[in-house]
């Protein structure tokens, strides 16, 4: 059975003092939860602090982006090996905010995906459609195109080394999340599309839901057969809310 995974995406939030209080409470809150996996993805400047606080706990950490180049004269860029130096296990790739606001394309997201895997990191590869695309019944076309940008380039064996995340743009950062049934439909589509290439990879790859997951809807989402956890935004900045979501994942794993 696939282990549930809960990933907190702090986005552009944090301070030295606030991070310590938040992470101390998260670590203590999940220390007895052993049947799922827990991760925080934090801004670059705080990786050293999070490494110091989280090492030895059952909370892993990662970054929110990376450069596709391992070595290059690129001012302000961060390479895969730099993230590994700070103990990162995961890195978010192709998040909707970067696709929309930083001009990330399928091609550049795929290059970052490849760099992450090649550098020893697990990419959390994000896919999702806009409100207009959903209303035009283009969800499967858009998500399928984004998935194919890595599946066709690198094959199912590389996808097996990643975590996938479905994050509908119309739900991110809102109080209008996808229903469990809506999310399950897209997760099933993603898994079935991978199965056309490799059924074993499709069965085992973890696919997270990432559109306004909260304590109130986490259990219902995690109960869906193809939803393997959550990519959590706002609620990852609230230790109690994040721990409640982690607890929902863990309790579901025990019940299953």
Q: What are the tokens at 85?
A: 């130096």
Whole-angstrom Cα distance, residue 25 to residue 118? 33
Q: Tell me which of 95, 97, 104, 129 is the catalytic residue.
A: 95
Q: Which two tokens stand for residue 62?
A: 């990662």
**Catalytic residue, candidates 104, 129, 167, 187:** 167
Cβ-Cβ contacts under 8 Å for 192 (sequence gap 6 or more): 202
Neighbours of 165 (CB within 10 A): 30
Is residue 95 annotated as a catalytic residue, yes or no?
yes
Question: How far apart, in whole angstroms, are the C-alpha atoms of residue 213 and residue 233?
Answer: 8
Please say if 133 is a catalytic residue: no
By annotation, the residues acting in catalysis are 95, 167
């Amino acid at each position: 059975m696939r282990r549930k995974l809960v990933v907190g995406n702090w986005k552009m939030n944090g301070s030295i003092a606030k991070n310590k209080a938040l992470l101390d409470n998260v670590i203590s809150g999940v220390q007895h939860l052993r049947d799922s996996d827990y991760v925080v993805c934090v801004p670059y400047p705080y990786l050293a602090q999070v490494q110091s606080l989280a090492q030895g706990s059952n909370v892993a950490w990662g970054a929110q982006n990376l450069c596709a180049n391992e070595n290059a004269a690129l001012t302000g860029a961060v390479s895969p090996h730099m993230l590994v130096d700070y103990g990162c296990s995961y890195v978010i790739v192709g998040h909707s905010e970067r696709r929309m606001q930083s001009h990330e394309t399928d091609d550049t997201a795929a290059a970052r995906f490849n760099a992450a895997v090649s550098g020893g990191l697990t990419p959390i590869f994000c896919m999702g459609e806009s409100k207009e695309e959903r209303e035009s019944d283009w969800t499967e076309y858009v998500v399928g195109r984004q998935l194919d940008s890595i599946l066709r380039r690198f094959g199912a064996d590389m996808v097996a080394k990643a975590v996938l995340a479905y994050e509908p743009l119309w739900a991110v950062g809102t109080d209008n999340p996808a229903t469990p049934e809506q999310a399950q439909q897209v997760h099933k589509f993603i898994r079935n599309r991978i199965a056309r290439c490799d059924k074993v990879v499709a069965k085992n790859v973890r696919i997270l839901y990432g559109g306004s997951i909260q304590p109130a809807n986490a259990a219902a989402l995690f109960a869906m057969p193809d939803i393997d956890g959550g990519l959590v935004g706002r609620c990852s900045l609230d230790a109690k809310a994040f721990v409640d979501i982690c607890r929902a994942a863990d309790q579901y794993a025990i019940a299953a």
